[in-house]
């Protein structure tokens, strides 16, 4: 089982795709919405990535989840398993190809600061960005276990960059 999409060169359309997705899904969160951030590799200019737009949605509370799930489903997002307490996950696939991932985290959740800080480090450090890109391409080339294997093998690099947080 391979990855749901292949790594491609940076595409200057990714920020616009994020803005479109942000506008579409904001209504699903109502008054609980604090912010929607573009994270992941598509948020880093110049970085090759799987063309999957990652959204980090910060909410003040997880209110009316049934309504949220309905709106997200109408927009083509499927609710996945919670990644941790206070960290919900949605994915959007088109014709079997992943196009978007939405992480919904409560304000103060450690993943918010972690995702934003990792993105910003990659944006500002070209050497680090190249190392990460090289690793991702290497992992893609050797991947036989799908996305779980890919994520697990990227984790030590990310943890090393982020320190012991």
Considering the domain boundaries, does residue 70 fall inside one?
yes
Residue 91 belongs to domain with CATH number: 3.30.460.10
Q: With bands split at pLDDT 50, 70 and 90, how would you rate the model's confidence at 148?
A: confident
Task: Report pLDDT for 111.
Answer: 93
Considering the domain boundaries, does residue 148 fall inside one?
yes
Considering the domain boundaries, does residue 57 fall inside one?
yes
Considering the domain boundaries, does residue 7 fall inside one?
no
Considering the domain boundaries, does residue 134 fall inside one?
yes
Q: Residue 149 belongs to what domain range?
A: 14-162
Structure tokens at 102: 């939405």
Considering the domain boundaries, does residue 72 fall inside one?
yes
Considering the domain boundaries, does residue 9 fall inside one?
no
CA distance 148 to 151: 5
Number of independent structural domains in the chain: 1
Q: What is the pLDDT of residues 48-106, one digit of tens each?
A: 999 999 999 999 998 888 889 999 999 999 998 888 888 999 999 998 888 999 999 99
Kindly report the pTM of this predicted structure. Answer: 0.90
Considering the domain boundaries, does residue 4 fall inside one?
no
- Scanning the chain, the segments in alpha helix (DSSP H) are 14-25, 65-74, 110-124, 126-142, 147-162
Question: CA angle at residue 73 from 71 to 78, to 5 degrees?
Answer: 135
């Amino acid at each position: 089982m391979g990855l749901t999409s292949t790594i491609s060169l940076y595409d200057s359309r990714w920020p616009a795709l994020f803005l479109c997705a942000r506008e579409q899904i904001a209504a699903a969160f109502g008054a609980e919405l604090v912010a929607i951030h573009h994270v992941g590799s598509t948020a880093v200019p110049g970085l090759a990535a799987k063309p999957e737009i990652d959204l980090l949605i910060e909410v003040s509370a997880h209110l009316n989840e049934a309504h949220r799930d309905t709106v997200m489903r109408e927009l083509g997002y499927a609710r996945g398993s919670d990644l941790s307490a206070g960290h919900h996950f949605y994915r959007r696939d088109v014709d079997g190809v992943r196009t978007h991932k939405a992480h919904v985290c409560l304000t103060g959740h450690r993943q918010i600061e972690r995702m934003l800080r990792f993105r910003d480090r990659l944006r500002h450090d070209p050497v680090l960005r190249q190392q990460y890109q090289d690793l991702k391409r290497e992992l893609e080339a050797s991947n036989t276990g799908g996305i779980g294997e890919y994520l697990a093998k990227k984790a030590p690099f990310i943890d090393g960059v982020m320190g012991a947080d």
